[in-house]
Amino acid sequence: MSAVVAGLAAGLVLFPGLAPNSVGRLGSLLEAFLPWLGLVVVVLLGVGLLRRSAVTLLALLLPAAAWTYTFGGLLLPGAPPGARDLVVVQHNVSDENTDPAGTARALAAAGPDLIALEELVPSALPVYERALAREYPHHAVRGTVGLWSRHPLTGTRPLDIKPEGIGEDWRRGLRTSARTPHGDIAVYVAHLPSVRLGAGGLVSHRRDESAGLLGRAVAAETRDPVVLLGDLNGTVDDRGLAPLTTRMNVAERGFAFSYPAGLPLTRIDQVMARSATVADIRALPATGSDHLPVAARITLD
């Protein structure tokens, strides 16, 4: 039995696409927590030691090797910072955040060039504007998403990523251009629809549709590099985000689990780039949100 469990775990880590999405979006659900399949190794180790079973101890080598091959690189130290690096922060600040001023100060303390925020409500927006104005004099807000920048922003426009059946007041995307010391970069900020886990499994069709619209917008972008910041309500392993992950680079180092803030189990807050490298990503300390902020270092090609 231990060999079967080990083989199944290794197969799912290496080939999660084998898990079907036709029933309850089982594949996407698995992919949301894929790194945690490494716990099978820990369980098999405990069973093997308890039973003094050489077969079980040998069997655990298979999922251990699969996990190391798939995720081990995320644990390696990153390259030292370079002259063409940008630091960005991505944070869903929560529409129920009772301390927007403290949240803004915490994000600015990381010293990023760009700060992307989602779930900006009208009552909190002026607080973020005041708290960030001195260090981030340039900002753009469309609907409930916004970007604060040390560098001038131009060509800002709303981004239509609204799936079918959602009201016209749903505005969760913007596109702008940041004039950095290393040249202009296109910046996208997005907040994709939430997914829900119910009796019938994972409900993600609206998130998937919105990801497809966002992917097409990025594909049509004529400027490079492109940086995407957002709460995408999916992990980089989730096939529902394939319209983005097949077109953009994801973080080469770091897990940066960001949700839920009290017990982070997954990262649904993402930083992606085209014609640039997301060298590393890390979670920042908790704010008044149910998400943790994430900070990433982007190396421009």
Same-domain status, 267 and 294: yes
Full domain range(s) for residue 65: 2-75
Q: List, for residues 227-254, the tens digit of each pLDDT value.
A: 999 999 999 999 999 999 999 999 999 9
CA neighbor of 232 nearest in space, from 268, 205, 208 = 268
Q: List, for residues 27-66, the tens digit of each pLDDT value.
A: 999 999 999 999 988 887 787 677 777 777 788 899 899 9
Same-domain status, 271 and 149: yes
Position 282 in a domain: yes
Same-domain status, 66 and 203: no
The DSSP H or E segment spanning 4 is: helix 2-14
How many domains would you assign to the chain? Answer: 2
3-class SS at 183? Answer: strand
Predicted TM-score (pTM) of this structure: 0.94
Same-domain status, 112 and 16: no
CATH number of the domain that 231 lies in?
Answer: 3.60.10.10
**What is the sign of the dihedral through the CA atoms of 40, 42, 46 and 48?**
positive
Same-domain status, 152 and 94: yes
Same-domain status, 127 and 58: no
Domain boundary among 17, 40, 75: 75
Position 80 in a domain: no
Helical packing angle, 2-14 and 39-51, nearest 10°: 160
Query: Which backbone phi and psi does 239 adopt, to 5 degrees?
Result: -65, -20
Q: Rounded CA gap, 99 and 53, in Å?
A: 54
Same-domain status, 41 and 137: no
Q: Rounded CA gap, 40 and 261, in Å?
A: 24
Count CB atoms within 10 A of the CB of residue 255.
16
Same-domain status, 184 and 61: no
Domain boundary among 48, 75, 102: 75
Position 97 in a domain: yes
Q: Rounded CA gap, 139 and 8, in Å?
A: 49
The full DSSP string for 83-135 is TTEEEEEEEE--TT-S-HHHHHHHHHTT--SEEEEE---TTTHHHHHHHHTTT
Q: Rounded CA gap, 116 and 72, in Å?
A: 28
The DSSP H or E segment spanning 40 is: helix 39-51
Same-domain status, 95 and 67: no
Q: List, for residues 245-294, the tens digit of each pLDDT value.
A: 999 999 999 999 999 999 999 999 999 999 999 999 999 999 999 999 99
Position 45 in a domain: yes
